[in-house]
Amino acid sequence: MDIATLGGAVLLGIVEGLTEFIPVSSTGHLILLVDLIGFRGPPGKVFEVAIQLGAILAVCWLYRAKLFGVALGMFAGGDDLRFARNVLLAFLPAMAIGFFAHGFIKSVLFSPWVVAVMLVAGGVAILLIERGVKLPHHHVIERFPWTLALAIGFCQALAMIPGVSRSGATIMGALLLRVDRRAATEFSFFLAIPTMLAATVYDLWKNRGGLTDDGLLLIVVGFVTAFVAAMLVVRALIDFVSRRGFAPFAWYRIAVGVLMLALLTLRQ
């Protein structure tokens, strides 16, 4: 393995960790960056999916007390059970749709053109939602009605289109459903855990025959760098969106999407 490939794994891990939990589409950024630098990792896009687990584990670590408490208390009922129920219900749409549409998504939609267009479209959608958001009715995840959790899950499923952003679809959908910013952002963190864990395990299993020692090393390098970068983002994100909202991310998406469309057009 050459240094350039290893350096590419580090760069992609950093980008993944920095973008997984903000509404700019980590998958979209990875697809664009892989195309720009010519990165050649393990087959089947397994590298791009697997390193997302590093970012997810950063959430597990930062919220370890909460998650440990839920694991111990959910069998006794009450708030812990409602919390676990809401995360599970919100996870189900992505699990079901992903299982049946996985091949189509990977073969057809994992395109720099799709990503660039969806970055712009998603940015416009965030600006419109931010302007039209109403006074929130839901402030605590444990108090979400089960129908609300399931509806947010269908919003998350939209992010199977690369460039949409899993966190963006989840948070914006929750805002439209009158969840407050802090609860919407935290719920997207917790919902990422089963969603990305399932996606990573599924992709690794599907591509297990094509994984080499070099491929596994690249995944480990990207995984670790994504974990470290995500630790920095998660700590700061909730405070940032509470003060500034999501408009800065929308304008960033639009700028990157327009730039990529221009570059892709020039390369034709």
Mean pLDDT computed over every residue of the chain? 86
Using DSSP's 3-state secondary structure scheme, residue 229 falls into: helix
Q: Which residues pair with 138 in a beta bridge?
A: 179
Quick one: pLDDT at residue 98?
Answer: 80
pLDDT tens digits for range 114-158: 889 999 999 999 999 988 877 889 999 999 999 999 999 999 999
Contact (Cβ atoms closer than 8 angstroms) between residue 12 and residue 222: yes
Average pLDDT over residues 195-206: 79
Quick one: pLDDT at residue 149?
Answer: 96
CA proximity to 109, closest of 170, 161, 171, 167: 161
Q: Which of 41-55, 131-145, 240-254 has the lowest mean pLDDT?
A: 41-55
Higher pLDDT, 35 or 69: 69
Percentage of residues in the chain having pLDDT higher than 90: 37
Q: Round to whole Å and give the CA distance between 60 and 20.
A: 14
Contact (Cβ atoms closer than 8 angstroms) between residue 254 and residue 123: yes
Contact (Cβ atoms closer than 8 angstroms) between residue 10 and residue 221: yes
Q: Which of 8-22, 37-51, 71-85, 226-240 has the lowest mean pLDDT?
A: 37-51
Contact (Cβ atoms closer than 8 angstroms) between residue 254 and residue 118: no
